[in-house]
Amino acid sequence: MLKINIKNKKEFKCVGNEVVNLIIEIVSKRKDEWFDRKKKKKLNQTNKEKREIEVFLNSLTPEYIEELVFLKPDKLRQNALNFASEKRSEALNDFIKSIFNATYKNHFLRRRFIEAIGLKTCPYCNRAYVYTIEDGEINPQIDHFYYKAKYPLFAVSLYNLIPACSVCNSAGAKGQRDTLLGDYSTHSPHETDDSEFRFNYKLLSPAIIKGTKRLTDSDVKILLDSKNDVYDKLFHITSLYEQHVDHIVDLLYKRKYVYNNETLEFLRRLTGKNLKRATLDRFIVGAYVEINNYHKRPLSKMYTEIAKEIKLIPK
């Protein structure tokens, strides 16, 4: 729903470099352990599995590790497709997880990563903030767009890590659904477009339209024009936003009783050059109105598009 634009590219690069160095160190230790264990003949794998793991270990050069961490979205997708098509033993899959999934779980710099991206609300829904409470501390939620149980090689690929709210990152929404292959195949928020989803509304009662009945939540229906049905299916966007119809009612009341044309014109004359138009519009609407700032406050996209539709703010 919201496109991710990395705010601090220098810090993003620094986080990635630290991950690269960490994995290089881990891989070096694993190589030493592996070949030492092999000499002592304490391995449980078959000879074929041992050779398979050796080939993989030897492929993990510093250059390849750096490439994995910084794969851009299009390259990431292609590499994930290649990974999905390859046949591997369960032993190798477990070995890959022991390096990459374990690195993410135990060492990944989640807070610095989120701060580098600069995203405050969930790009999947724009309904909630990406921070939650874990063990008494405030920590960000991060979703693996290509989920790490099936695509462990990309568990610390930066463009595979999507800041998300606890709802969208739960089993009831995206969970471990496969966004690369099958019914839920789609593109990540790094590649999305603001125009894929548009909010509008519909008045359900003729009496409301005529102005002879007081407006209530049951008289308004939220409309979502979506060019990406998979996102709606994954994250239940339409169903969730139906719970926010009261926000639209508030906007309609604002427009009719508080900010009529005369009041809006007066405010714009009063503030003049002392206040940017976007700032004044934010005060009026109660949400950020610039596309690049939608992420700063929940529901900003819906607020802005409805506000423009009812001419509370200019289009």
pLDDT value of position 22: 94
Residues sharing a CB contact under 8 Å with residue 154, sequence separation 6 or more, in sequence order: 68, 71, 76, 79, 80, 83, 100, 144, 146, 148, 160
Q: Are 233 and 239 in contact (CB under 8 A)?
A: no
The SS3 call for residue 221 is strand
pLDDT confidence of residue 41 = 58
Structure token digits, residue 197? 């989803």
Answer yes or no: are the C-beta atoms of 194 and 107 closer than 8 Å. no
Give the number of other Cβ atoms within 10 Å of residue 107's Cβ: 13
Domain boundaries, the chain: 9-163, 194-309
- In this prediction, the residues of the chain whose per-residue pLDDT falls under 70 are 37-44, 133-136, 206-213
> What does the pLDDT look like over 83-118, one tens digit per residue?
999 999 999 999 999 999 989 988 888 889 999 999
* Residues sharing a CB contact under 8 Å with residue 71, sequence separation 6 or more, in sequence order: 79, 154, 157, 159, 160
pLDDT reported for residue 131: 83
pLDDT of residue 97: 94
- Distance (Å, rounded) from C-alpha 157 to C-alpha 104? 10
CB 187 within 8 A of CB 160: no
Token code pair at residue 129: 């903030």
Taking only the tens place, the pLDDT of each residue in 134-166 is: 666 777 889 999 999 999 999 999 999 999 998
How far apart are the C-alpha atoms of 122 and 166, rounded to whole Å?
A: 9
What is the rounded CA–CA span in Å between residue 9 and residue 31?
32
